[in-house]
Chains A and B, each alone.
Chain A
Amino acid sequence: MNEVRELDVAQITAAVRELAMTANYDLPADVYAALQAGKTSEESPSGRAVFAQLVDNADIARDDRVPICQDTGFAVLFVSLGQDVHLVGGDLTAAVNAGVRAGYADGYLRKSIAAEPAGARKNTTDNTPCVLHTTVVPGDRVEIVLMAKGGGAENMSSLSMLKPAQGWPGVVQAVVDTVSRAGSNPCPPIILGVGLGGTIDMVTLLAKRALLRDVGSVHPDPRVAAMEAELLDAVNALGIGPQGLGGTQTCLAVFVEEMPCHIASMPVAVNVQCHAQRHKRVVL
């Protein structure tokens, strides 16, 4: 029998606090490299100027420890809890929210969460609650990933419950339509997380999880990698370009995650991510 490891949830709170700040100040290296490359590879002059501004912006944010974007996002947390870990000292959900609260307060991050969505829309003032996805995994470690998800790009995301007869062309159309409709709104160059299969809840989670992959990474399954390449080319053919001013790079990367689905269904979710792709990971 595996030995059970005790972990105080106060450590989780401290880790989440730190992740909230570093995610918002420090653009991941893969995204930074893609923005650098765009300064020369983008064909549109205004698009190249946008890439140059975005690189300068990332430098300022990292050096001055200020947010890359004023929309410091909905905190979306992915916690992979090792099944040999015994959490002590309190409630996991409360501990994660306490970390979000502390990080957004101490880090001078914007509080962007409104209660009663269709009514008072009163700001909760501490950027909680967060969205928490917990998975139990083998081992005695706890992995925490914090994604700071901005509202502008999230608003442009889509869910389509296609008919199986629509097949792969239907999927391509759903993705292209989503990006075409979004135009300049989600702060292109964008990154797309595409969920394919599962159920209505799972397909959107697949799309969101897909956004955790590194820009420049290739899917290990060549079949899925080919789907990603085709989708990337199809959306970049739209010509929307950086900031929607016209150009060859509307999208930096498309990541597809799939799972089997019901014989009657073909769910497709497209989660749109702006160029400020902010996520950080820690293992406790």
Chain B
Amino acid sequence: MKWLRRSGALVALVVACIVGVARYEAFLTIENLSNVLRQNSMLGFVALGMTFVILSGGIDLSVGALLAVAGVVAAMLAPHGAVLAIVGGIGAATALGVVNGLLITKARIQPFIVTLAMLIAARGAALAATAEQSISVPSEAAGLTWIGRGSIGPVPVPIVLLFVAYLGGAIVLRYTRFGRYVYAVGDSEDAARLMGLRVDRVVIGTYALSGLLAGLAGVVLAGRLGAGQPVAGVGWELDAIAAVVVGGTLLTGGQGGAGATLIGVLLLGVIFNLFNLEGTISPWWQWVLRGGFLLGVVIVQSRLQRDN
């Protein structure tokens, strides 16, 4: 049963792929698979950051808005060079993530409220800074466009970044003190504090990381679209939470991991892809099925947990 909880999403992913191979010729083509990965890479970054936050027992509703901020900042800085644009975009989102963390730990306001407020404020700031228009990336910043559209050898850059991010995330969680402390804080904040951990730093770290990864997603998206859009990433916080939960990370914190989330992201991506290949399923039904799927997963999870 334990195995099933850990690997349920993986089994579902394999099944979905088998269905895909069996039913659609177009599924198992490099073009299609690379498309699935590229389209889901940005959600992947956001979901990885969300994984850290949820593992530590928090929640980050502001990721979609931070993503927009990063894209807008990057596009605005693009005339001064791609490096500045990328660093600036990611830096801005990271800074806002730190603000989230500080408000949660120092002002002791619930994560739900803090990040809800940040969602509203950051979205507002992105809209204000751009006068509600999208800002196109000028040709000087070829590096920014490359991040979104380029390839390294045959592999699109976003896919490379996705795997680097997840590999890094998995190593941080498993092999660094910070990673272990994220689990500890999510397990029991009181116990972690009594055992001498600086809980506040760990919490701020997770929100900063979530901001950073949302920023990365924003920059990649801006590169891909060739524009920074203040309305980018609306509702992504929900998709990211769904991916994390579907992967098998517990919303209560302390259990789960980066690999699980990657599987969650891919599973949702592949299912979407199958719908598209089928072609006859309206996008609206896809939403219904997505919601139903999320419900199914959490119901199974709650059953298995209780059996434990």
Asked if chains A and B come from one complex, the reply is no
A residues sitting closer than 8 Å to B (CB atoms) are none
B residues sitting closer than 8 Å to A (CB atoms) are none
